């Protein structure tokens, strides 16, 4: 299973996610309908739009800072938003046991949140460095002393940059799929060089899933295909994807 050991000096105990209770729903698991997939346990979360040097940043937060404990701050992958990327993980029963003791702050990359307004033509999307430089505004807004960052893909890259530029604000990082040269991107590059055209959703799916999973068109792939096409503004997504590439 996946072992997260000593995530923070603030006293997290060792957790082991076993194969009997998988963290991610597998190919054979039946997914709930899309509404449930997106909206599980949203009632305690509060939404904020925070001014930063590079534009507004949409975040959702649950809880309030507790003593010297760091906040948990997440950043999602390209093609997703905080709900699509992290809902399943944070609704997992063992993870809920952790988050009872910490404030949790989900950051949506500019324009990627559900219901986001479309950016105007000619809008200059922030660079990856600028996305990282937006995060101190979030930390200051809520009065966090420091954070534990949890990032996936593009979000992992942003949080790694954030930690390098502002090390005093970061207690620790949990980074997943941070390598931009992973199989998904190689497939995407090969398709681009061969002149094959694919939809924006297909491009994102090739980053999130293996070729075998895409060919088998699992229920999980089908669900993400629907959500990516409907939950994230496609124009805004293209801007984020272009910047990540």
User: What CA–CA distance (Å, rounded) separates 22 from 188?
Assistant: 29
Which band of pLDDT confidence, cut at 50, 70 and 90, is reported for residue 101?
confident
Q: What is the model's pLDDT at position 87? A: 86
Q: What is the model's pLDDT at position 15? A: 35
Q: Which CATH superfamily is domain 2-20+34-177 in?
A: Alpha/Beta hydrolase fold, catalytic domain (3.40.50.1820)
Query: Which residue from 12, 29, 13 is spatially nearest to 21, judged by alpha carbons?
Result: 29
Other beta carbons within 10 angstroms of residue 121's beta carbon come to: 6
How many angstroms from the chain centroid is the CA of residue 211? 22
Task: State pLDDT tens for residues 29-71.
Answer: 434 444 434 444 455 789 999 999 999 999 999 888 777 889 9
212 is written with which tokens?
């075998």
* Model confidence, pTM: 0.77
What single string gives the DSSP state of each residue in 87-145?
Answer: HHHHHSHHHHHHHTTS-EEEEEPTT-STTPPPPPTT--PPPHHHHHHTHHHHHHHHT-S
Q: What is the model's pLDDT at position 43? A: 56
Q: What is the model's pLDDT at position 151? A: 96
Q: What is the model's pLDDT at position 18? A: 34
Full strand arrangement of the beta sheet holding 71-75: 46-52, 55-62, 104-108, 71-75, 147-152, 170-176
Q: How many helices (H) and strands (E) does the chain have?
A: 11, 8
Query: Where in the chain are the domains?
Result: 2-20+34-177
3-state secondary structure of 3: strand
Query: Which residue from 122, 118, 99, 121 is spatially nearest to 110, judged by alpha carbons?
Result: 118
Residue 22 to residues 93, 98, 210: CA-CA distances in angstroms? 11, 17, 19
Question: Which residues are within 8 A (CB) of 34 and not within 5 positions of it... i.e. 6 or more apart?
Answer: 223, 226, 227, 230
Which band of pLDDT confidence, cut at 50, 70 and 90, is reported for residue 147?
very high
Task: State pLDDT tens for residues 160-219.
Answer: 999 999 999 999 999 998 865 444 555 555 555 555 557 899 989 988 888 888 889 889
């Amino acid at each position: 299973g996946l072992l997260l050991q000593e995530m923070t000096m603030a006293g997290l105990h060792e957790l082991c996610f076993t194969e009997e209770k998988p963290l991610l729903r597998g190919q054979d698991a039946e997914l709930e309908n899309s509404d449930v997939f997106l909206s599980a346990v949203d009632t305690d979360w509060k939404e904020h739009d925070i001014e930063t040097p590079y534009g507004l940043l949409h975040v959702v937060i649950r809880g309030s800072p507790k003593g010297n404990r760091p906040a948990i701050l997440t950043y999602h992958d390209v093609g997703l938003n905080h709900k699509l990327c992290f809902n399943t993980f944070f609704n997992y029963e063992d993870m809920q046991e952790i988050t009872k003791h910490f404030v949790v702050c989900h950051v949506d990359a500019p324009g990627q949140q559900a219901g986001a307004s479309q950016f105007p033509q000619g809008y200059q999307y922030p660079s990856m460095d600028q996305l990282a430089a937006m995060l101190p505004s979030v930390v200051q807004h809520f009065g966090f002393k420091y954070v534990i960052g949890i990032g996936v893909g593009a979000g992992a890259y942003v949080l790694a940059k954030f930690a390098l530029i502002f090390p005093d604000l970061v207690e620790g990082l949990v980074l997943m799929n941070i390598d931009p040269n992973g199989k998904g991107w190689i497939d995407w590059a090969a398709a681009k060089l061969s002149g094959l055209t694919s939809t924006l959703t297909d491009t994102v799916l090739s980053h999130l899933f293996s070729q075998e999973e895409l060919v088998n068109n699992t229920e999980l792939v089908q669900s993400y295909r629907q959500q990516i096409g409907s939950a994230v503004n496609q124009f805004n997504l293209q801007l984020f994807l272009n910047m990540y590439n």
